Chain A
Amino acid sequence: MTRPVDAEGLAARFIADEAHESTHDRLVWGMRHNRDMAVAGVPEWEELRELASRIKEHTLAHLDRYLEEFEANATKLGTHVHWARDSEEHNAVVYEILHAHGVKSLTKSKSMLQEECGMTPYLQKRGIEVTESDLGERIQQLDGEPPSHIVVPAIHKLRSDVAALFARDLGTDPTNADPHYLAEAMRQDARPRFMAADAGMTGANFAVAETGGFVVCTNEGNADIGASVPPLHIASIGIEKLIPRARDLGVFIRMLSRSALGSAITQFTSHFHGPRRDGELHVVLVDNTRSDRLGSPDFWHGLKCIRCGACMNTCPVYRRGSGLSYGATYSGPIGVILDPGFDIRKYRELPFHSSLCGSCTEVCPVKIDISDQIYKWRRVVAAKGLLTLTKRVGMRALGTTFAHPALFHAAESVGESAMVHLPRFLLYNSLNPWGKHRELPAAPKQTFRQWYIENRRNP
């Protein structure tokens, strides 16, 4: 049986490290703050959200049509279009293309989809060297960790962590944590790899049905070096990335980076329409559970996601526990609603790694009902019998107590210490978790009900 990810335990470990946790919370909250500032500069923000949401809903409702339109138009431009039902097919298609071109090394720009498919280990096992071109992503690759954030993959690391890592892998001075020094060391190490690569791989932020082109947004221009230097460019695109028309891009591009980092636009917004001269362009359109999700009345709206990371930045649980605590490709609130769709057993604890504060729903630029979906996933987990034993037994006992006034009033009967009652009828769990960092309230002399009977019924 699949062991569930222990999000709570992983988060607790991150929090125990005061320096990492407080810096992480401050930096990630800073992105939320910058988002607020950027949004304040766009008075029609709420209208844009509504428009973006409707464009995505419309596209998803007619996805078959738009996918075929995209394929036809991309093919006209000279792009090779491939289809992949799942991650295995995706990886096989990619490898086939690379193998046919005798590719030994490739430059890979950040792609959550390729992460989702486990592509890098798949290719490395087959002898292909993969170099991440996004700085944060490269840091994570060297450290053997997945990205902890969709947009800023190494945000959970301190400068000193990077200095230690680079000292180990790039031979830098371990005591020098100056960002310029470290970035320069990476540049010196990565540049020859980029220049020698046989292929470049990217993801895509948007694929336009009307034109057959696609758009990749980065802040480092790193997608462009992979797409421009080697003669072969392969882009992996989730089928939910489609939008109908080029002019719809304006809605999303205005929202993407404002939501993510609080900047008006990403530094690079690169449009690819067919292969470059003497080059070859391949697009792999990937389903990998997206069709299943599209058929789910409760969860299909998750496909509207444009991967901005705003929900992570605002999430108080994410900021405290870090993205790695989710143990999944997608972390934060969006991860909580996407991951169980991939593997409900493995990710059954994630819907409970949330205080249901609802802030994610409010910042989402495409109006995904994230918080409501987290609540609904809890019902799915319970209905499938996948709750922890403590919860299952506790909730059954609690439900019985609350259903019978006499039982409830006996449980809260005064004269005994509240210490006895708190876990039983309110916290329904071992007493220890509450008391680790918090005091319990003192028991009052009488309950409200008893006071009411004394003072209003029999005064």
Chain B
Amino acid sequence: MKVGLFIPCYIDAFFPEVGIATLELLERLGCSVEYPLDQTCCGQPMANSGCQEDSAATEALFVQCFKDFDTVVGPSASCVHHVRFHLDAIEQTPEARKVRAGTRELVEFLHDDLKVGSFPWAEFPHRVGLHNSCTAVRGLGHARPSERVNEPDFSKTRDLLAKIPGLELVEIDRPDECCGFGGSFCVTDEAVSAKMGYDRVNDFHRHGAEYIASADMSCLLHQKGVIDRLKLPMKVIHVAQILNGGPL
């Protein structure tokens, strides 16, 4: 299966290991993966601030980079959510529509499309707290949102992590409470964002997590900032790194 690899800007710049893990994992699972070199960003930072005009050229570039792929996979729920639901600052040409419809977030691609049964190359003998991001849960439907108390419980990321030998998931008090990253919110509403981050990280810490794992590295960038400031004995890790068995 031919796959266009979408590596969001902040992963490219700060967490190359997450991009490498995603690429290697997809290759191991038999995909023919190509990373278009001119990609930069999906347009979300500008669009989330309401700046449609400033987002248009970036969105056009995104479509240009991925127009030849039927399937585009990216390791970020919030960026994929933008592409699928909000990439509308540009004309909705057949190419734009194709790219938007074909863009998949890594977890849903593994869980729903490839239906991966096992990751025999991986093990992770650690206590892990799962941070399902807000866009993953309420935007892309990765898991049952906690507000929907009467619906059957499910979590795609948890299903995947359950296939990893040694990995022990820890329960926390507020399973899908927002960590407070929120894009530019993290600096424009600094006090609220930081307090939410402290509360989130402490919830994991209280319950003995060694790692906070997520399909969203942007949430983890923020939580890592908190962990490092508080000097807590915890690390953050992208789900792709666990499923691929590294790199760390």
A binds B: yes
A43 to B45, CA, bound (A): 39
A15 to B199, CA, bound (A): 12
Return the contact of B189 from the options A317, A357, A399, A425 (Cβ within 8 A).
A317
A427 to B218, CA, bound (A): 12
Q: Contacting chain A: which of B5-13, B99-107, B110-118, B120-128?
A: B5-13
A16 touching B50 by the CB < 8 A rule?
Answer: no
Closest approach, in angstroms, between the C-beta of A145 and any C-beta of chain B? Answer: 20
Return the contact of A378 from the options B17, B49, B56, B198 (Cβ within 8 A).
B49
Return the contact of B19 from the options A43, A358, A418, A448 (Cβ within 8 A).
A448
List A residues 305-360 near B (Cβ within 8 Å).
Answer: 314, 316-317, 320-321, 351-359
A411 to B123, CA, bound (A): 37
B14 touching A443 by the CB < 8 A rule?
Answer: yes
Given A12-B191, A391-B49, A391-B184, CB of A396 within 8 Å of CB of B54: yes
Q: Max chain B CB contacts within 10 Å: which of A11, A357, A403? A: A357
A425 touching B193 by the CB < 8 A rule?
Answer: no
A379 touching B50 by the CB < 8 A rule?
Answer: yes
Q: Contacting chain B: which of A134-142, A148-156, A199-207, A450-458?
A: A450-458
Q: Which residues of A contact B41 (CB under 8 A)?
A: 402, 408
B149 touching A355 by the CB < 8 A rule?
Answer: no
A316 to B182, CA, bound (A): 12
Q: Is B186 on the interface with A (CB-CB < 8 A)?
A: yes
A355 touching B61 by the CB < 8 A rule?
Answer: no
Q: Is A362 on the interface with B (CB-CB < 8 A)?
A: yes
List A residues 167-201 near B (Cβ within 8 Å).
Answer: none
Q: Which residues of A contact B193 (CB under 8 A)?
A: 355
List A residues 376-405 near B (Cβ within 8 Å).
Answer: 377-383, 387, 391-392, 395-396, 398-405
Q: Which residues of B contact A321 (CB under 8 A)?
A: 191-192
> Which residue of B is nearest A7, CB measured?
B189
A402 touching B38 by the CB < 8 A rule?
Answer: no
List B residues 8-65 near A (Cβ within 8 Å).
Answer: 9-20, 23, 35, 37-41, 43, 45-46, 48-58, 60-61
Closest approach, in angstroms, between the C-beta of A396 and any C-beta of chain B? Answer: 5
Q: Max chain A CB contacts within 10 Å: which of B11, B39, B151, B225? A: B225
B173-211 interface code vs A (CB 8 A; 1 in, 0 out): 010111011111111111111111111000000000000
Given A21-B195, A434-B186, CB of A378 within 8 Å of CB of B48: yes
A429 touching B184 by the CB < 8 A rule?
Answer: yes
B49 touching A363 by the CB < 8 A rule?
Answer: no
A359 touching B138 by the CB < 8 A rule?
Answer: yes
A373 to B179, CA, bound (A): 21
A398 touching B45 by the CB < 8 A rule?
Answer: yes
Given A405-B40, A412-B12, CB of A316 within 8 Å of CB of B196: yes
A281-309 interface code vs B (CB 8 A; 1 in, 0 out): 00000000000000000000000000000
Return the contact of B225 from the options A16, A371, A434 (Cβ within 8 A).
A434
A355 touching B188 by the CB < 8 A rule?
Answer: no
Q: Which residues of A contact B191 (CB under 8 A)?
A: 8, 11-12, 15-16, 320-321
Closest approach, in angstroms, between the C-beta of A47 and any C-beta of chain B? Answer: 10
List A residues 420-459 near B (Cβ within 8 Å).
Answer: 421, 425-430, 433-434, 436-441, 443-444, 446-453, 456
Q: Is B228 on the interface with A (CB-CB < 8 A)?
A: yes
Q: Which residues of A contact B87 (CB under 8 A)?
A: none
Return the contact of B150 from the options A11, A39, A378, A383 (Cβ within 8 A).
A39
Q: Which residues of B contact A456 (CB under 8 A)?
A: 23, 35
Return the contact of A433 from the options B174, B188, B228 (Cβ within 8 A).
B188
A11 touching B192 by the CB < 8 A rule?
Answer: yes
A320 touching B192 by the CB < 8 A rule?
Answer: yes
A371 to B225, CA, bound (A): 26
Return the contact of B190 from the options A12, A399, A402 (Cβ within 8 A).
A12
Return the contact of A428 from the options B45, B57, B61, B194 (Cβ within 8 A).
B45
Given A8-B190, A418-B13, A418-B14, CB of A438 within 8 Å of CB of B225: yes
Given A316-B196, A378-B49, CB of A40 within 8 Å of CB of B150: yes
Q: Which residues of B contact A42 (CB under 8 A)?
A: 150
Q: Which residues of A contact B149 (CB under 8 A)?
A: 36, 39-40, 45
Q: Is A114 on the interface with B (CB-CB < 8 A)?
A: no
B180 touching A36 by the CB < 8 A rule?
Answer: no
A45 to B149, CA, bound (A): 9
Q: Which residues of A contact B58 (CB under 8 A)?
A: 399, 402-403
Q: Is B146 on the interface with A (CB-CB < 8 A)?
A: yes
Q: Is A272 on the interface with B (CB-CB < 8 A)?
A: no
Q: Max chain B CB contacts within 10 Å: which of A16, A359, A425? A: A359
A214-249 interface code vs B (CB 8 A; 1 in, 0 out): 000000000000000000000000000000000000
Return the contact of B49 from the options A36, A46, A395, A402 (Cβ within 8 A).
A395
Q: Is A361 on the interface with B (CB-CB < 8 A)?
A: yes
B12 touching A391 by the CB < 8 A rule?
Answer: no
Q: Which residues of B contact A45 (CB under 8 A)?
A: 149-150
Closest approach, in angstroms, between the C-beta of B201 and any C-beta of chain A? Answer: 10
B150 touching A438 by the CB < 8 A rule?
Answer: no
B61 touching A403 by the CB < 8 A rule?
Answer: yes
Given A39-B149, A356-B134, CB of A379 within 8 Å of CB of B9: no
Q: Which residues of B contact A36 (CB under 8 A)?
A: 146-147, 149
B138 touching A362 by the CB < 8 A rule?
Answer: yes
Closest approach, in angstroms, between the C-beta of A88 and any C-beta of chain B? Answer: 32
Return the contact of B221 from the options A316, A441, A452 (Cβ within 8 A).
A441
B189 touching A387 by the CB < 8 A rule?
Answer: no
A405 touching B57 by the CB < 8 A rule?
Answer: no
Listed by A's residue number, 27 A-B pairs whose Cβ atoms lie within 8 Å are: A12-B190, A15-B195, A42-B150, A316-B177, A316-B196, A320-B191, A320-B192, A355-B178, A359-B138, A363-B147, A375-B86, A378-B49, A383-B50, A396-B54, A399-B56, A400-B57, A402-B57, A403-B57, A418-B13, A426-B45, A427-B187, A437-B226, A439-B228, A441-B14, A444-B14, A447-B12, A450-B16
Given A359-B138, A395-B45, output 7 extra A-B contacts at Cβ < 8 Å: A316-B180, A316-B196, A354-B182, A362-B148, A380-B50, A403-B58, A426-B10
The 10 closest A-B pairs by CB, nearest first: A438-B225, A399-B54, A355-B182, A378-B50, A382-B50, A448-B19, A403-B57, A12-B191, A437-B194, A362-B147
